[in-house]
């Protein structure tokens, strides 16, 4: 099932530059202003730095040359107005560019969500896909958001490269040895810091792993559903012990990290003192030799310090772009991840009212992907099965026999490893899988309740709800009395986690709601995987009574543990050892006197023996 296709194996490699270009392309196609704002921000930042660089030397020069007071005031006024104006424009640009960046990030988040909710079902169980999704979320989330921060890196490039060029020009009169010392110490300082950051980046997963454990213990300790167990089984001390253990691991990790940062900061500081000391003595020597005045001394000294900032800035930008590129790579890999089914393409399959559908499993073999290197056991081996239009088919068997897997193969959630699933004689692989899903409706063991109204939960669509149909389906599912007794009736909200005023339906009521949802969809093929597991025996019997009525005219596949319920079906399959062990009507299977009869008698005995006195 999880073997990769040739198409998938040819996974693209994205370079750092490619990832940066991806963001630029996204911006160019969707919000070009984001690019212009990033460039503008960089240009203004350089302009502010250059103006600031000249403030003190210019004023000193006025004083040195004994200029007029008005001349001095004009100089101060010029710098004040220039810096204020440039800073105001910069603040305006920064404020406005934030919205564009958020919008662009949101645009990419939407693409990731679309892929996540529409990708082939087995991918949701593939660890590689799950990891990529987590990494993509990481690159797009509010805290980390490489997708927004990358624009600051682009701005940094504009700012640092331009600043470097301007300062290099300014320092053309300074001895090249001083420039060389400045560049060398800046590069060394950067490399030491880079080492510490790299260590942090390389150990990100270790930190995440520890944090995950800490969070897990904290969440579980607060989990409402675990509150009973914690009290009854005295789990508090055990949970506290676990929490302490993981916190110790976390503090140890932080200690190792901080020691590296401390060493890097100390080295950087020593290099800074060395650089500034050499520059200071050299420039002082020039002043004393009468080669430059005090104003130029100030200008050059500030320029040497600033020069260092541009150099380390450029290197920092390169490494940040590399890191952000790697993070964004996960987004691109996720978005480009090869589909296993025809999700977008494939032959369209329109639902035609009254059309008869035959489903056939021909020589089907299937196994789940194993854990690690261990291949898992084959669930089905060379299975043949035909479900005729309108047939009511029951699938029974012990736990783990493969009933749910069979249903998933029929529904097209998995493709067989060998053999075919055919719809009216055509392999379902050739059809658009989403169109195929439209033919099927179901109640599965794990069902989803949307935090919305009851009506929306039945219609599965908030925009267009046929209320008459909702009421009809709810009535058929036996939930009308309950819903109409609620103050909000069909507009009652579900899910207290989102809506404090929501009602909480019991397990059985939710299952009835799922049956109403199935009926609303009105598809020609229905699947019921233990649809009554949470119902009491009376409710269960009520649903079974209606079972034929509920699924009238539809092909229905019905899984149940309770063999008594299967008697309503046209045909019963007993699944055992990856094959159909027995097949026939309830009466035929009982008359056979084999495994089905044995299981049926065991269950009947159990129910009789456990009858309430
Ligand atoms: P049943 O519905 O009859 O109880 P299932 O179809 O759920 O049985 O499971 C059949 C076998 O496949 C079992 O051995 C089960 O452990 C295994 N299995 C089910 N789902 C998965 C899965 N997602 N990944 C790996 N193995 C699975």
Give residue 372's pLDDT: 59
Instruction: State the Cα–Cα distance between residues 84 and 81, nearest whole angstrom.
Output: 5
Atom of ligand 1 nearest to the CA of 369: 25
How do residues 114-163 score in pLDDT, each as one tens digit? 999 888 988 888 888 888 898 888 888 866 678 888 999 999 999 999 99
Decide if pLDDT at 609 tops 60: no
Instruction: State the Cα–Cα distance between residues 121 and 407, nearest whole angstrom.
Output: 14
CB of 379 sitting under 6 A from ligand 1: yes
The mean pLDDT value of the chain amounts to 85
Ligand 1 pocket test, candidate residues 364, 397, 402, 558, most atoms within 8 A of CB? 402
Atom of ligand 1 nearest to the CA of 377: 14
Residue 350: CB partners within 8 Å, gap ≥ 6?
A: 435
Atom of ligand 1 nearest to the CA of 408: 6
Give residue 10's pLDDT: 45
Decide if pLDDT at 415 tops 80: yes
Give residue 29's pLDDT: 93
Q: Encoding tokens for residue 124?
A: 């949701």
Strands 440-443 and 525-529: parallel
Give residue 143's pLDDT: 66
CA of 427 from ligand 1 middle (Å) equals 24
Ligand 1 pocket test, candidate residues 404, 446, 528, 559, most atoms within 8 A of CB? 404
DSSP state of 564: G
Look at residues 263, 261, 275 and name the one whose alpha carbon lies nearest to residue 184. 275
Mean pLDDT for 237-263 is 93
CA of 599 from ligand 1 middle (Å) equals 21
Give residue 613's pLDDT: 41
* Cβ(240)–Cβ(249) below 8 Å: no
Atom of ligand 1 nearest to the CA of 575: 3
CB of 402 sitting under 6 A from ligand 1: yes
Mean pLDDT for 252-270 is 92
CA of 558 from ligand 1 middle (Å) equals 17
% of the chain with per-residue pLDDT over 70: 92
Strands 571-576 and 392-396: parallel
Atom of ligand 1 nearest to the CA of 398: 3
Angle between helices 69-118 and 16-30 (to 10 degrees): 90
pTM: 0.72
Atom of ligand 1 nearest to the CA of 399: 4
Q: Report which protein residue has its CA nearest ligand 1's atom 16.
A: 400
What are φ and ψ of residue 21, in 5° steps? -65, -30
Instruction: State the Cα–Cα distance between residues 27 and 100, nearest whole angstrom.
Output: 9
Instruction: Report CA-CA distances (Å) from 536 to 102, 447, 531, 564.
Output: 50, 18, 12, 14
Pick the range with the lowest mean pLDDT from 256-260, 488-492, 517-521, 543-547. Answer: 543-547
Mean pLDDT for 63-74 is 80
Instruction: State the Cα–Cα distance between residues 563 and 590, nearest whole angstrom.
Output: 11
Give residue 177's pLDDT: 82
CA of 515 from ligand 1 middle (Å) equals 24
Give residue 612's pLDDT: 46
Atom of ligand 1 nearest to the CA of 407: 6
Where does the pLDDT of residue 85 fall: very low under 50, low under 70, confident under 90, or very high at 90 and above? very high
Q: Taking the CA of residue 51 as centre, how many other CA atoms within 13 Å lie in the half-sphere pointing to its CB?
A: 19
Q: Encoding tokens for residue 479?
A: 């939930």
Mean pLDDT for 235-249 is 91
Decide if pLDDT at 221 tops 60: yes
Mean pLDDT for 344-372 is 84
Helix or strand or coil: residue 66?
A: coil
Strands 418-423 and 426-427: antiparallel
Decide if pLDDT at 193 tops 50: yes
Decide if pLDDT at 7 tops 60: no
Where does the pLDDT of residue 537 fall: very low under 50, low under 70, confident under 90, or very high at 90 and above? low
CA of 130 from ligand 1 middle (Å) equals 20
CB of 399 sitting under 6 A from ligand 1: yes
Mean pLDDT for 404-424 is 93
Q: Report which protein residue has its CA nearest ligand 1's atom 25.
A: 368
Give residue 3's pLDDT: 42
Instruction: State the Cα–Cα distance between residues 605 and 611, nearest whole angstrom.
Output: 10
CA-atom Rg of the chain in angstroms: 35
Instruction: State the Cα–Cα distance between residues 307 and 310, nearest whole angstrom.
Output: 5
CA of 232 from ligand 1 middle (Å) equals 31
CA of 533 from ligand 1 middle (Å) equals 18
CA of 406 from ligand 1 middle (Å) equals 10
Give residue 374's pLDDT: 64
The neighbour count for residue 609, using CB atoms within 10 Å, is 7
Decide if pLDDT at 559 tops 80: yes
Pick the range with the lowest mean pLDDT from 43-47, 373-377, 555-559. Answer: 373-377
Mean pLDDT for 411-438 is 92
Give residue 35's pLDDT: 93
* Cβ(98)–Cβ(151) below 8 Å: no
Q: Report which protein residue has its CA nearest ligand 1's atom 19.
A: 405
How do residues 483-517 score in pLDDT, each as one tens digit? 888 888 888 888 877 888 888 888 778 888 988 99
Atom of ligand 1 nearest to the CA of 406: 6
Q: Encoding tokens for residue 554?
A: 């539809």
How do residues 389-407 score in pLDDT, each as one tens digit? 989 899 988 888 888 899 9
* Cβ(455)–Cβ(465) below 8 Å: yes
3-state secondary structure 317-364: HHHHHHHHHHHHHHHHHHHCCCCCCCCCCCECCCCCCCCCCCEEEEEE
Give residue 566's pLDDT: 75
């Amino acid at each position: 099932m999880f073997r990769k296709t040739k198409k998938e194996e040819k996974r693209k490699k994205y370079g750092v530059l490619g990832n940066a270009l991806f963001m630029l392309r996204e911006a160019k196609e969707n919000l070009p202003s984001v690019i212009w704002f990033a460039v503008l921000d960089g240009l203004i930042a350089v302009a502010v730095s250059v103006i600031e660089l000249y403030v003190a030397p210019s004023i000193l020069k006025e004083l040195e040359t004994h200029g007029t007071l008005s001349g001095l005031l004009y100089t101060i006024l010029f710098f004040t107005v220039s810096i204020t104006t440039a800073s105001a424009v910069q603040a305006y640009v920064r404020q406005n560019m934030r919205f564009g960046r958020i919008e662009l990030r949101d645009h990419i988040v939407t693409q990731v969500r679309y892929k996540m909710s529409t990708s082939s079902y087995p991918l949701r169980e593939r660890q590689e896909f799950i990891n990529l999704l987590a990494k993509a979320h990481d690159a797009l989330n509010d805290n980390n958001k490489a997708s927004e921060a990358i624009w600051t890196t682009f701005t940094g490039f504009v700012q640092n490269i331009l600043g470097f060029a301007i300062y290099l020009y300014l320092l053309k009169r300074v001895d090249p040895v001083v420039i060389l010392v400045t560049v060398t110490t800046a590069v060394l300082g950067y490399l030491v810091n880079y080492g510490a950051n790299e260590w942090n980046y390389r150990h990100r997963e270790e930190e995440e792993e520890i944090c995950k454990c800490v969070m897990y213990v904290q969440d579980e300790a607060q989990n409402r559903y675990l509150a009973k167990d914690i009290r009854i089984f005295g789990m508090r001390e055990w949970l506290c012990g676990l929490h302490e253990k993981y916190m110790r691991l976390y503090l140890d990790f932080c200690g190792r990290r901080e020691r590296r940062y401390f060493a890097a900061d100390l080295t950087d500081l020593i290099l800074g003192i060395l650089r500034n000391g050499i520059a200071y003595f050299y420039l002082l020597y020039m002043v004393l030799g009468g080669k430059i005045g005090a104003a130029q001394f100030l200008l050059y000294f500030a320029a040497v310090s600033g020069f260092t900032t541009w150099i380390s800035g450029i290197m920092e930008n390169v490494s940040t772009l590399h890191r952000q590129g790697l993070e964004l790579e996960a987004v691109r890999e996720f978005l480009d991840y090869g589909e296993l089914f025809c999700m977008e393409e494939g032959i369209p399959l329109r639902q035609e009212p009254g059309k008869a559908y035959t489903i056939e499993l021909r020589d089907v073999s299937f196994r789940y992907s194993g854990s690690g290197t261990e291949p898992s056991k084959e669930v089905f081996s060379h299975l043949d099965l035909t479900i005729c239009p309108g047939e009511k088919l029951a699938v029974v068997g012990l736990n783990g026999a493969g009933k749910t897997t069979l249903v998933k193969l029929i529904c097209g959630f998995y493709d067989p490893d060998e053999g075919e699933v055919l719809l009216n004689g055509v392999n379902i692989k050739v059809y658009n899988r989403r169109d195929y899903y439209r033919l099927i409706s179901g109640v599965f063991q794990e069902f989803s309740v949307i935090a919305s109204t009851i009506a929306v939960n039945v219609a599965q669509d908030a925009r267009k709800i046929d209320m008459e149909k909702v009421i009809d389906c709810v009535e058929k599912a036996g939930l009308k009395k309950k819903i109409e007794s609620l103050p909000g009736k069909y507009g009652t909200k579900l899910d207290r986690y989102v809506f404090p005023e929501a009602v909480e339906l019991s397990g059985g009521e939710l299952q009835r709601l799922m049956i109403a949802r199935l009926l609303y969809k009105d598809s020609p093929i229905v699947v019921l995987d233990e649809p009554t597991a949470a119902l009491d025996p009376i409710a269960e019997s009520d649903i079974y009574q209606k079972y034929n009525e509920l699924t009238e005219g539809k092909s229905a596949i019905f899984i149940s543990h309770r063999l008594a319920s299967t008697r309503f079906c046209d045909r019963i399959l007993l699944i055992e050892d990856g094959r159909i062990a027995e097949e026939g009507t309830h009466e035929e299977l009982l008359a056979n006197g084999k495994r089905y009869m044995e299981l049926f008698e065991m269950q009947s005995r159990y129910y009789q023996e456990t009858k309430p006195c």
